[in-house]
């Protein structure tokens, strides 16, 4: 089989597709013939050597993929050869075959294409855990999603709307605003406005009657985080998902005290490792939302596996609206 291998950390274009042996699998594992691969921002950090978890080289990047079960270990009961599945892994998805633990492998709905399943993996799980678990969302609350046109952001807009929230989408241009509105956002918050420190709160207060938002989901950090912190309602909850804007913000603890607000963080892979049953329950809910038509990934473009560097370049440049995916030759079969 073929796989995209990291032999030395660097830029995506330095990686090559190589022939490698079919991976071996254990009693609790599933061997998957991969059809579609999710492309995520953390993949760039893995390739460059900046991610917090880096396997011994050589290895393949990639955290989620969808395909057909080729074989299972003798202890596996949750799926069987021939099943259409999506799997979530720490690494290894940029390949034509993938070994995943059965606990992290999920049989897909019949109506779901492989590209949708691969696009939903990491970002929809992250968005759901951020909103419901860390953000303690309650039905009917108001949610501000920053970076609402990105992978996690757009997933969060859809999930929050599907669960009954009033959704404010923070974006920085008209094209992203149209995308967020088309995916369920009730109101657009302009993150490119002058004097964001004041204007973000003014925009939020104007549509919440001066109350502020109950939950903020923030994958950006930087100035956007600082401004959004000031736009929260009494007992509001903000969830730190990432720092795509570049600067890691610093929080003054007295501000949390004065406003009775909560700021928490989400490292989703900890849930995958520590409580896979919880992740499976969330995945079941996501599948149900999908089949009910309440969520659907916006797959901006599918790239052949050979064009992985082009797909990652779009992610690096911040030009992806929703998700891009890679497809293997099996996708054409």
Cα–Cα dist 158/145, whole Å? 10
Question: How do the pLDDT tens digits run along the chain, 333 residues long?
Answer: 999 999 999 999 999 999 999 999 999 999 999 999 999 999 999 999 999 889 999 999 999 999 999 999 999 999 999 999 999 999 999 999 999 999 999 999 999 999 999 999 899 999 999 999 999 999 999 999 999 999 999 999 999 999 999 999 999 999 999 999 999 999 999 999 999 999 999 999 999 999 999 999 999 999 999 999 999 999 999 999 999 888 999 999 999 999 999 999 999 999 999 999 999 999 999 999 999 999 999 999 999 999 999 999 999 998 888 899 999 999 875
Q: What's the CATH number where 155 sits?
A: 3.40.50.720
Do 141 and 263 belong together in one domain? yes
Instruction: Quote the pTM value.
Output: 0.93
Do 11 and 72 belong together in one domain? yes
Of 268, 283, 314, the position where a domain reaches its end is 268
Q: Give the CA distances from residue 87 to residues 69, 122, 223, 272, 331, in Å, rounded to whole numbers and listed in that order.
A: 10, 10, 35, 11, 16
The answer to whether residue 217 sits within a structural domain is yes
The answer to whether residue 286 sits within a structural domain is no
The parent domain of residue 66 ranges over 2-108+298-332
Structurally, the chain folds into a number of domains equal to 2
List phi, psi (to 5°) of 151.
-60, -60
Do 130 and 264 belong together in one domain? yes
The answer to whether residue 285 sits within a structural domain is no
Alpha carbons within 13 A on the beta-carbon side of 276:
11
Cα–Cα dist 39/319, whole Å? 13
Do 103 and 127 belong together in one domain? no
């Amino acid at each position: 089989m073929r796989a995209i291998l990291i032999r030395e950390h660097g830029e995506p274009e330095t990686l090559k597709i190589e022939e490698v042996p079919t991976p071996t699998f254990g009693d609790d594992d599933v061997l998957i013939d991969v059809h579609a691969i999710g492309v995520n921002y953390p993949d760039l950090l893995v390739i460059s050597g900046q991610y917090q978890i880096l396997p011994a080289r050589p290895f393949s990047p990639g955290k989620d993929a969808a395909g057909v079960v080729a074989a299972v270990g003798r202890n596996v009961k949750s799926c069987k050869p021939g099943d259409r599945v999506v799997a979530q892994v720490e690494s290894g998805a940029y390949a034509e075959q993938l070994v995943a633990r059965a606990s992290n492998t999920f049989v897909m709905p019949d109506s779901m294409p492989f590209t949708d399943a691969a696009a939903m993996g990491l970002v929809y799980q992250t968005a759901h855990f951020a909103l419901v678990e860390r953000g303690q969302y309650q039905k009917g609350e108001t949610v501000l999603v920053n970076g609402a046109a990105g992978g996690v952001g757009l997933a969060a807009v859809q999930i929050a709307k599907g669960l009954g929230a009033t959704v404010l989408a923070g974006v920085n241009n008209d094209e992203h605003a149209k995308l967020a509105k088309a995916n369920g956002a009730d109101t657009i918050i302009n993150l490119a406005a002058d004097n964001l420190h004041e204007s973000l709160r003014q925009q939020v207060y104007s549509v919440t009657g001066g109350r502020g938002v109950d939950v903020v989901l923030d994958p950006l950090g930087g100035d956007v985080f600082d401004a959004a912190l000031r736009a929260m309602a009494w007992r509001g909850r903000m969830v730190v998902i990432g720092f795509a804007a570049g600067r890691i913000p610093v929080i003054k603890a007295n501000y949390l005290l004065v406003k009775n607000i909560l700021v928490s963080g989400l490292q989703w892979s900890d849930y995958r490792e520590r409580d896979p049953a919880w992740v499976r329950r969330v995945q079941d809910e996501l599948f149900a939302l999908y089949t009910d038509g309440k969520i659907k990934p916006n797959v901006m473009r599918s790239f052949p596996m050979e064009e992985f560097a082009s797909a990652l370049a779009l992610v690096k440049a911040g030009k992806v609206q929703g998700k891009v995916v890679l497809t293997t030759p099996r996708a054409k079969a």
